[in-house]
Structure 1
Amino acid sequence: MKIRRVVAGTGADGKAKFLSDGAAPRSALFTTVPGFAAALLWATDASDSVGTGAVDDRTCEAGFVPESGGTRLMMVTFPPDAVMMRADFDGAAFGAEFGRLVPGLAETFEPDHPGMHTTDSIDYDIVLEGEITLELDDGAQVLLRRHEVAVQHGNRHAWRNLGDKPATMLFVLVGARRAGGRG
């Protein structure tokens, strides 16, 4: 997944300037699931500030789930679920690759319930291309199409591509504290 990322900020002279323009440094095409791709495009911490003349690019070392007050911007392409239903699908190899390429997020997935996960974040989920189904823990589902948006509040969920074409989504995760003290 090759994505151009342009970063702008404020220079030391107080004027807006382009700080970088090039390929997003943290993009991955999965080998265990053809068509599955993920890219972490930007990461912030709660302590970040603007207008300082410097921008901290935490993208390369950050996990995919932010701490409280932090943010993550990522793009994911989901192949049709049928790709993972093939007889030659190696779930263990996919799990290992997912853990290596998407650290922080991979650990939120439930081994006994494929695809189900929960993050301590408010998520803005935008469908850029294709169609995808958002499934909640009680089995309720809603189909989202191109340019439709879901907002999630730390709930347990899974993404299901029940169609025959890839679906590409943009996710903005805003780290939040979970009621009851977790997170």
Structure 2
Amino acid sequence: MKKIPRRVVTGIKNGKSAIVEDEIVKNTVEHFPNLIISDIWNTQQIPASLDFENPIPNLGFPQTPKNGTYFRYVSIPPDKDLGVEIKEGEPHPMMHQTPTLDYIIILSGELYLIMEEGETLLKPGDIVIQRGTNHAWSNRSDEPCIQLAILIDAEKD
């Protein structure tokens, strides 16, 4: 399984800022073959508390805390390696919706963002603002796509 470093530098020692954690994340999970997810950090409220971390379950489809956030690392394998059947003319089997405002950054590889109507190809450096709608990810290449996502609890008007 991929090793993902995490550094938490917001600690205070002897009244000065200090690195309080420099290690590999422990909650890396493979929910589907080769789909690697790690929830790097979360907050339980807004404004966020800077005093502590409340570890959360690492789920395939996130359940962002009410008034909270997730910071999520995702490595999406090529569709052919994912272990789900994609049928022409039918919704993507990984179509889902979360009640969140998501900021997503593609770090490496490429990925199609699929909506109920239309799709777009994403490449490294691309940014997606996902506003609580049905969507799926499709990796039609031969390499994994790595994305970082910040999910913020949201309400529909």
Amino acid across the alignment from 1:46: Q
- Where does structure 1 differ by over 4 angstroms across 4 or more consecutive aligned residues? 60-63
The TM-score, its normalising length taken from structure 1, stands at 0.72
CA distance 1:113–1:161, change in 2 (3 Å): closer
Structure 1 CA distance, aligned partners of 2:92 and 2:80? 17
Residue in structure 2 matched with residue 172 of structure 1 by the alignment: 150
Deviations for 1:112-153, whole angstroms, at most 9, x for unmatched residues?
851111101100111111000000012x00000011111111
* Aligned partner of residue 10 in structure 2, secondary structure: strand
Q: CA deviation at 1:25?
A: 1.8
Match runs of 1:23-62 below 5 Å:
23-29=24-30, 33=33, 35-46=34-45, 48-50=48-50, 54-55=51-52, 57-61=53-57
CA distance 1:131–1:61, change in 2 (3 Å): closer
CA contact (8 A) 2:97 2:135 kept: yes
Deviations for 1:47-104, whole angstroms, at most 9, x for unmatched residues?
5423xxx32x2234476331342110111111111124xxxx478xxxxxxxxxxxxx
CA contact (8 A) 1:115 1:158 kept: yes
Match runs of 1:131-170 below 5 Å:
131-138=110-117, 140-170=118-148
Q: CA deviation at 1:164?
A: 1.6
Structure 2 CA distance, aligned partners of 1:38 and 1:146? 18
Residue in structure 2 matched with residue 104 of structure 1 by the alignment: none
Amino acid across the alignment from 1:171: A
Structure 2 CA distance, aligned partners of 1:90 and 1:161? 12
Do structure 1's residue 71 and structure 2's residue 49 form an aligned pair?
A: no
Amino acid across the alignment from 1:176: A
Residue in structure 2 matched with residue 108 of structure 1 by the alignment: none
CA contact (8 A) 2:37 2:58 kept: no
* Aligned partner of residue 5 in structure 1, secondary structure: strand
CA contact (8 A) 2:27 2:58 kept: no
* Structure 1: segments with no counterpart, 5+ residues: 92-111
More helix by share: 1
Report the identity percentage: 28
Match runs of 1:120-139 below 5 Å:
120-138=99-117
Structure 1 CA distance, aligned partners of 2:44 and 2:15? 22
The TM-score, its normalising length taken from structure 2, stands at 0.82
Amino acid across the alignment from 1:175: D
Residue-pair matches, total: 148
CA contact (8 A) 2:106 2:146 kept: yes
What value does the CA root-mean-square deviation take over the aligned residues? 2.2
More strand by share: 2
